């Protein structure tokens, strides 16, 4: 028997199946879908068993060991991997990395051991630990030839170490043996309280009155038997778990009944329910039926902020709830994954990457806030969680439920064409009227000599809320203190050395930072070009808004929420909780505050520079803007009459004006836009990103490729254009955009093949990214 293996090296040259012999000892254990360790050239590498065949001409070396007793790549996941390969042409090893949690991947390293550190070159001696161990860093690898020579002289040894990125957590437990003849048993009367065959942790034994040394002594004498038990790290949330079970309204009941009647179909449902119409109640009702029929439910939310409130609702009603997202610690994620792999959960709440989780008996997939662009993976292997979910719903023959108050244009179009089944919720269970929306033209404010970032009306409204002890939400969607700094003397703008994008100024940390690659450096007011102290932050970022809020409303308690302050674990929840507890009057945030928890005391929501996101050079900018504003408007007055202020300079765009109109009015305009521009859903859009060392040559390669593409029938080719991020660490960037109905990727593949050259890269982006 031969195992077909993909080795976990992300490189074109080795991205293929390798055949390996299976040693007799492992014959029974090697199965499709497990991870194994194999010799690969002079290395030992992890690999995935993707198939078993009887014969092979090339197999010559044996599998070293297996890492899983149960496949981590199910047959279903294999079909998803095939789908990802077909749609993206990414490397297989990259695809594996995308669909399995990083905790199952390996870290490879080298460790130098030496007992004669003092005989080694002086500059190396300090790198060794007391025990004579030196873990090589990547930048030390160039020393390897020298180290190898020293190894031959037996002064040191070089060891290759391979470690799984996270290990399971174990705890020590003790079992009481009541059949021992230990003579001093009567010293420990507490023993009588213990139950045989029950496992006790040290902490539990301490509660019975055993000291740590008691436990050691009793273990030594066989009264306690020690064992290791695997423990799952539990994930704590600060929210309560009270189940607010409500009786469904007739409208909700009807929608829910339709879904429950279709649990044995593979239909896709678009659940369009206005804000506050109770979509979550319907999810819970459907999940209840799924669990009752011994199946599992997968609930996806677009971002981490929304995990906690969703988990709270779900955990209040169901037991065995799993959760999965990137803010879990590595250990927690590892444990959640294994619980799910063992099918120990009934419901999983997860973000985008959770769409690959190994649930074997799926009964329904729910994608909440389906319009959110966070469902689109934009780096590495590009995919849309909706497409993967669609795949899985076909595989399991189960329904897929897409929920939204503002469905994406693409999904609504599918519903119109009857590819999706449209379900609509038009009523709010509590008779709350829609909030009043005020559009404030800042041009007029300026004419009235108001240079503040707050209009007079908004300022008055905030003061009013402060007096009434009600809360205010303010959205400003730009990070940092100022989007760039400018030298007033010579006009120089500090830019990222890699991306050539202007650096954002952060006042908190006195830093300049690149939003695209994360490059940062300290801010000094002296210009690096003309050496004059004339550098000044220009423009408005959220930190500036915070400063202005504090100046304008000195007695208001302001909380700021953006990626800078929510980077640490649990920070989101803490901030939400503080605001919910009325420890602040105003919550200022980037787009992350537009969704999530209900705040009963919020009666005012404001968006500053609402037209900012319309200026983004993306074909779906108006959709994104409309969604953001609508969500924000929905945050105000969920429990009492609310007001919404939308400030900006150019507010006559339909994406902004539609906020106070029904969804359908936005949808019509947007669809018309898409038709004129020939974008989704009428044409598919994909892009090719060229990156290369020399500016001109990169452009020429892109241009040559464009000419080749133009020969294809029914494909519109645009570009090459210079993208927003004009440089990367690989060099200069150019983008070619294509629009098409159908595309033969095999042909594209062959064309890309001819573009291959050292130091020049082309990447295919199958779904539209903002390049």
Give the footprint of DNA on this chain (CB under 7 A): 9-14, 18-21, 38-43, 56, 58-61, 108, 141-142, 144-146, 148-149, 160
Which of 109, 429 has the CB closer to DNA? 109
Q: Which C-beta is closer to DNA: that of 105 or that of 538?
A: 105
Bridge partners of 199, per DSSP, are 175
Least distance (Å) from DNA to the CB of residue 175?
44
Q: Which residues pair with 520 in a beta bridge?
A: 513
Q: Is 467 helix (H, G, I), strand (E, B) or coil?
A: helix
User: Starting at the edge strand that comes first in sequence, how are the strands of the sheet with 65-66 ordered?
Assistant: 17-21, 2-7, 43-53, 35-40, 65-66
By beta-carbon proximity to DNA, the closer residue of 46 and 341 is 46
Count other Cβ atoms within 10 Å, centred on residue 185. Answer: 15
| Helices and strands (H and E) in the chain: how many | 21, 34
**Residue 61: CB minimum distance to DNA, A:** 4
Closer residue to DNA (CB): 11 or 488:
11
Annotate 659-712 with three-state secondary structure.
HHCCHHHHHHHHHHHHHHHCCCCCCEEEEEEEEECCHHHHHHHHHHHHHHHHCC
Strand-pairing partners, residue 226, are: 174
- Tell me which residue of 565, 566, 602 sits closest to 584, measured CA to CA: 602
Q: Which is nearer to DNA, 56 or 74 (CB)?
A: 56
**Dihedral (Cα; 158, 159, 165, 167), 10-degree rounding:** -140
Torsion sign across C-alpha atoms 427, 430, 433, 437: negative
Look up residue 401 and give its two tokens.
């439920």
Yes or no: say if 509 and 466 are a contact pair by the CB < 8 Å rule.
no
Question: Whose Cβ is closer to DNA: residue 39's or residue 168's?
Answer: 39
β strands within 499-578, DSSP E: 504-506, 511-513, 520-522, 535-538, 558-561
Q: Give the list of residues 6+ apart from residue 286 with CB closer than 8 angstroms, or none.
A: 256, 259, 260, 263, 297, 364, 366, 401
- Measured from the CB atom, is 45 or 560 closer to DNA? 45
CB-nearer residue toward DNA: 39 or 429: 39
CB of 498 to DNA, least distance (A): 18
Q: How far is the CB of 51 from DNA (least distance, A)?
A: 12
Residue pair 336/328 in contact by the 8 Å Cβ criterion: yes
CB of 760 to DNA, least distance (A): 13
Q: Which is nearer to DNA, 141 or 170 (CB)?
A: 141
> Cβ 433 to DNA, closest distance in Å?
59
Angle at 623 between CA 619 and CA 625, to 5 degrees: 105
Find the shortest distance in angstroms from Cβ 418 to DNA: 46
Query: Please, what is the minimum distance in Å from the beta carbon of residue 694 to DNA?
Result: 17
Q: Is 197 helix (H, G, I), strand (E, B) or coil?
A: coil
Find the shortest distance in angstroms from Cβ 92 to DNA. 13
CB of 12 to DNA, least distance (A): 7
Q: Which one, 144 or 191, has the nearer CB to DNA?
A: 144
Cβ closer to DNA: 88 or 393?
88
Which residue reads 């439910």 in tokens?
297
Nearest distance, CB of residue 150 and DNA, angstroms: 10
For 164, half-sphere exposure in the C-beta direction (CA atoms, 13 angstrom radius) is 16
The residue among 144 and 185 lying less far from DNA, judged by its C-beta, is 144
What order do you get walking across the sheet with 471-475 strand by strand? 436-441, 643-648, 602-607, 471-475, 586-589, 558-561
Pairing, β 400-404 against β 421-425: unpaired
Q: How far is the CB of 110 from DNA (least distance, A)?
A: 7
Length of the chain: 771
């Amino acid at each position: 028997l031969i195992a077909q293996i993909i080795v976990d090296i992300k490189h074109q040259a080795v991205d293929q199946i390798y055949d390996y012999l299976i040693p007799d000892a492992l014959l029974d254990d090697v199965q499709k879908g497990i991870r194994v360790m194999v010799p690969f050239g002079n290395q030992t590498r992890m690999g995935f068993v993707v198939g078993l065949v009887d014969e092979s001409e090339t197999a010559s070396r044996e599998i070293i060991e297996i890492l899983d007793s149960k496949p981590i790549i199910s047959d279903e996941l294999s079909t998803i991997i095939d789908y990802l390969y077909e749609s993206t042409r990414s490397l297989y090893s990259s695809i594996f990395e995308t669909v399995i949690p990083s905790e199952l991947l390996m870290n490879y390293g080298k460790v130098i051991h030496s007992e004669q550190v003092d005989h080694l070159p002086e500059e190396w001696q300090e790198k060794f630990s007391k025990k004579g161990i030196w873990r090589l860093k990547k930048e030390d690898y160039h020393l390897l030839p020298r180290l190898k020579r020293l190894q031959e002289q037996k002064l040191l040894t070089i060891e290759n170490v391979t470690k799984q990125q996270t290990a399971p957590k174990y705890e020590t437990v003790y079992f009481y043996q009541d059949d021992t003849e230990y003579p001093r048993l009567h010293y420990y009367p507490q023993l009588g309280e213990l139950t045989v065959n029950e496992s006790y942790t040290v902490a539990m034994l301490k509660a019975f009155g055993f000291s740590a040394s008691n436990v050691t002594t009793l273990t030594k004498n066989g009264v306690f038997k020690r064992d290791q038990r695997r423990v799952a790290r539990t994930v704590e949330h600060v929210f309560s778990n009270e189940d607010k079970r409500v009786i469904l309204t007739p409208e909700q009941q009807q929608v829910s009944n339709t879904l429950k009647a279709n649990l044995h179909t593979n239909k896709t449902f678009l659940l369009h329910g206005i804000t506050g119409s109770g979509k979550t109640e319907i999810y819970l009702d459907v999940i209840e039926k799924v669990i009752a029929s011994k199946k599992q439910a997968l609930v996806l939310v677009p971002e981490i902020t929304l995990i906690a409130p969703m988990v709270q609702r779900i955990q209040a009603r169901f037991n065995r709830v799993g959760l999965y997202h990137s803010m879990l610690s590595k250990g927690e994620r590892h444990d959640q994954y294994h619980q799910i792999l063992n099918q120990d959960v009934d419901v999983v709440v997860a973000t985008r990457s959770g769409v690959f989780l190994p649930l074997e008996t799926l009964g329904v997939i729910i994608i909440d806030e389906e319009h959110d662009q966070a469902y689109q993976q934009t780096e590495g292997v590009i995919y849309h969680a909706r497409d993967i979910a669609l795949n899985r719903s076909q595989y399991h023959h189960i329904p897929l439920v897409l929920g939204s108050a503002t469905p994406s244009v693409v999904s609504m179009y599918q519903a119109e064409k009857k590819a999706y089944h449209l379900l609509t919720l038009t009523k709010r269970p509590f008779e709350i009227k829609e909030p009043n929306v005020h559009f404030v033209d800042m041009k007029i404010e300026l004419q009235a000599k108001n240079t503040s970032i707050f209009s007079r009306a908004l300022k008055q409204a905030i003061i009013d809320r402060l007096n009434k002890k009600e809360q205010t939400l303010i959205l400003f969607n730009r990070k940092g203190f100022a989007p760039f700094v400018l030298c007033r003397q010579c006009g120089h703008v500090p830019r990222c050395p890699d991306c050539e994008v202007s650096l954002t100024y952060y006042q908190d940390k006195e830093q300049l930072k690149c939003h695209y690659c994360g490059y940062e450096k300290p801010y000094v007011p002296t210009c690096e070009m003309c050496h004059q102290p004339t550098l000044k932050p220009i423009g408005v970022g959220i930190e500036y808004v915070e400063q202005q809020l504090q100046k304008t409303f000195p007695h208001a308690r302001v909380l700021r929420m953006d990626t800078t302050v929510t980077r640490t674990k649990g920070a989101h929840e803490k901030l939400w909780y503080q605001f919910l507890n009325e420890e602040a009057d105003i919550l200022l945030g980037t787009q992350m505050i537009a969704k999530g928890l209900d705040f009963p005391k919020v009666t005012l929501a404001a968006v500053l520079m609402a037209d900012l996101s319309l200026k983004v050079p993306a074909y779906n900018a108006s959709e994104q803007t409309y969604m953001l504003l609508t969500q924000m408007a929905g945050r105000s007055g969920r429990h009492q009459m609310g007001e919404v202020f939308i400030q900006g300079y150019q507010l006559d765009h339909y994406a902004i004006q539609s906020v106070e109109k029904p969804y359908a009015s936005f949808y019509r305009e947007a669809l018309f836009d898409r038709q004129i521009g020939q974008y989704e859903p009428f044409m598919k859009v994909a892009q090719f990103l060229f990156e290369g060392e020399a500016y001109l040559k990169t452009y020429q390669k892109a241009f040559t490729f464009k000419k080749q593409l133009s020969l294809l029938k029914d494909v519109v080719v645009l570009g090459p254009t210079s993208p927003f991020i004009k440089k990367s660490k690989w060099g200069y960037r150019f983008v070619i955009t294509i629009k098409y109905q159908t595309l033969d990727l095999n042909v594209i593949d062959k064309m890309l093949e001819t573009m291959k050259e050292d130091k020049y890269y082309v990447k295919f982006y199958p779904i539209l990214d903002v390049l």
